[in-house]
Amino acid sequence: MSRRINTLSLHAAGGGGVTGDSYSDRIVKFVPGDVVAGWLAITSAIKSAAQPPSERTLWIIFSVGLFFAAAWTWRKTSEVGKKPAYIQTAVSTVAFGVWAYATGGALPQWPGALYQPLTATLMLVGFSLLSGLVTQA
């Protein structure tokens, strides 16, 4: 299965018999699961560290994750003869941020009330359901 979302506009433009992705297919393709898995491994290592990294280091790790989610999605959706998947890359990058927040990881170690489990769960469910409504790649 290709990582790129197949839209109805691509299909109408002669997509070679490829049908548009369904709502559930789009939800799955918007989530950069491999990058989220990397985030979970890194945050697990952070949690097990004897001395957790500084707040600045946590923000740097999160920022690198956002960059990597964008770059990885861009690479995995690039296809010869098709315009870049700008929207899919943007939505997938935001999806990484939502998943990183929802899974907790290093975030509960940040100061203040930045991490709230209920808010994280509601954001994850809401974003996932809404992202499937995006039909442009």
- Each domain of the chain, given as residue ranges in start order, spans 8-131
pLDDT averaged over the chain?
85
pTM, 2 dp = 0.85
* Cα(40)–Cα(108) distance, integer angstroms: 14
* Cα(109)–Cα(27) distance, integer angstroms: 29
Of how many residues is the chain composed? 137
pLDDT score for 109:
62
- Segment 74-122, tens digit of pLDDT: 999 998 888 999 999 999 999 999 999 998 766 666 566 778 888 889 9
pLDDT score for 137:
64
* Cα(56)–Cα(61) distance, integer angstroms: 9
Helix, strand or coil, per DSSP, at residue 27: helix
* Cα(101)–Cα(114) distance, integer angstroms: 9
